[in-house]
């Protein structure tokens, strides 16, 4: 199991994650969205998380995110 976290407030909308890993990422309102994630707005910004069996292509998306706002653990 892996938990994927998207620090959406940091996202610059470059689209790399959606093109590398369309199974998990799409673009919406100029920023990325982690498909099926629960997004919450907090005092520290907007975050989305979801748990998956396998991080799969999210690893490549995280590695290629220019602002490093995709985290996997
Ligand atoms: S690669 Fe990173 S900065 Fe680019 S759209 Fe995806 S989450 Fe946002």
Q: pLDDT band at 11, cuts 50/70/90?
A: very high
Q: Residue 25, Cβ neighbours under 10 Å: how many?
A: 25
- Kindly give the distance from the C-alpha atom of residue 61 to the centroid of ligand 1, in angstroms, as a whole number: 8
Any domain includes 40:
yes
User: Residue 15: its pLDDT value, please?
Assistant: 98
Task: Tell me the mean pLDDT in the region 55-71.
Answer: 98
Q: pLDDT band at 51, cuts 50/70/90?
A: very high
pLDDT digits (tens, 9 = 90+) for 14-50: 999 999 999 999 999 999 999 999 999 999 999 999 9
Any domain includes 68:
no
Question: Closest ligand 1 atom to the C-alpha of 15?
Answer: 5
Pocket of ligand 1 (CB under 6 A): 11-17, 32, 65-67, 69-70
Any domain includes 22:
yes
Order of strands, edge to edge, in the sheet holding 70-72? 38-42, 45-52, 2-7, 70-72
Count of structural domains within the chain: 1
Any domain includes 57:
no
Task: Indicate the top mutation candidate among 26, 28, 37, 69 to test ligand 1's pocket, ranked by most ligand atoms within 8 A of CB.
Answer: 69
Any domain includes 73:
no
Q: What is the pTM of this model?
A: 0.96
Any domain includes 70:
no
């Amino acid at each position: 199991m892996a938990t994927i976290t998207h620090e959406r407030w940091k996202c610059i909308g470059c689209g790399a994650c959606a093109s590398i890993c369309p199974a998990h990422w799409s673009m919406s309102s100029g920023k990325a969205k982690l498909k099926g994630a629960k997004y919450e707005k907090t005092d520290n910004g907007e975050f989305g998380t979801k748990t998956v069996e396998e991080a799969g292509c999210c690893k490549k998306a995280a590695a290629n995110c220019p602002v490093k706002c995709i985290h996997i653990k």
